[in-house]
């Protein structure tokens, strides 16, 4: 596959996500029909979600990042056998880490990550569940490279677009340590860190019964 044929996403200014050459788009019900070029809603107001219907123009959607967004900083939590890295500015607050391994990812505790709180294989499995790419790890100073996978977008129920694999996100400033193979894009319109999801869909009770 040439670079021109690879799936790509362009977050248009104050407009939708333009997606090209993506054949794997799905929601909780299964695969969706795709076309070589698609415009996905990211203002949250389209009546034809996940596709754009021009509502961003009616509601005055703005795609700029907010000044009060979390600081872009990757913090290392060094353990005896594994180091866990975390960038809070990338977190979509899906809760997979805290739900699956509460002994390591500890709510309302400081430091909130204990890299010695579980066996290494369990920690690695939990980190790999992170949809936003905010979490990563290294073992003995070696950070594993992400396997090359076909590009896909999963529409999370009442949540973001979960992008996996070989999908180029063009013209975007990436956060420190951000994964190019796993990230989440806002579709509710409220994120302070657009185009990335910051969990604001929870705060505004974003709802999409169709997807």
User: Mean of the pLDDT values across residues 29-46?
Assistant: 97
- For residue 83, what pLDDT is reported? 97
Q: Which of 31-35, 70-74, 180-184, 186-190 has the lowest mean pLDDT?
A: 70-74
- Tell whether the model's pLDDT for residue 1 goes beyond 70: no
What is the rounded average pLDDT for all residues in the chain? 93
Report pLDDT digits (tens) over 151-160.
999 999 999 9
Mean pLDDT of 191-206: 95
Check residue 103 and give its pLDDT.
Answer: 97
Of 45, 39, 27, nearest to 189 by C-alpha is: 45
8-11 and 168-170 as β-strands: parallel, antiparallel, unpaired? parallel
| SS percent in the chain: helix, strand, coil, step 5 | 10, 25, 65
What's the CA gap between 91 and 161, in Å, rounded? 13
pLDDT reported for residue 170: 87
Q: What pLDDT, in 10s, does the model give residues 105-137?
A: 999 999 999 999 999 999 999 999 999 999 999
Residue with tokens 């056998």: 81
Place of tokens 């200014």: 13
Is the confidence at residue 26, as pLDDT, over 70? Answer: yes
CB 104 within 8 Å of CB 206: no
CA 154 → CA 14, 27, 91, 211, distances in Å?
Answer: 22, 6, 17, 10
Q: Which residues contact 10 (CB under 8 A, 6 or more apart)?
A: 17, 18, 20, 170, 171
pLDDT digits (tens, 9 = 90+) for 55-113: 999 999 999 988 777 788 999 999 999 999 999 999 999 999 999 999 999 999 999 99
CB-based contact 20:204 (threshold 8 Å): no
pTM (2 decimals)? 0.92
């Amino acid at each position: 596959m040439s670079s021109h044929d690879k799936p790509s996403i362009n977050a248009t200014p104050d407009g939708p996500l333009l997606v090209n050459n993506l054949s794997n788009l799905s929601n909780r019900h299964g695969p969706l029909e795709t076309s070589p070029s698609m415009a996905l809603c990211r203002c949250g107001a389209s009546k034809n979600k996940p596709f754009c219907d021009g509502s961003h123009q009616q509601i005055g959607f703005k795609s700029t990042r907010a000044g009060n967004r979390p600081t872009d900083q990757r913090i290392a939590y060094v353990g005896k056998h594994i180091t866990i890295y975390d960038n809070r500015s990338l977190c979509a607050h899906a809760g997979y880490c805290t739900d699956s391994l509460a002994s390591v990812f500890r709510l309302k505790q400081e430091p909130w990550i204990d890299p010695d709180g579980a066996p290494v294989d369990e920690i690695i499995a939990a980190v790999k569940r992170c949809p936003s790419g905010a979490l990563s790890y290294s073992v003995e100073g070696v950070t594993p490279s992400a396997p090359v996978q076909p590009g896909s977008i999963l529409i999370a129920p009442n949540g973001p677009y979960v992008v996996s694999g070989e999908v180029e996100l063009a013209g975007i400033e990436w956060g420190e340590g951000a994964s190019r193979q796993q990230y989440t894009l806002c579709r509710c319109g409220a994120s302070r860190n657009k185009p990335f999801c910051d969990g604001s869909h929870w705060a505004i009770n974003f709802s999409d019964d169709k997807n």
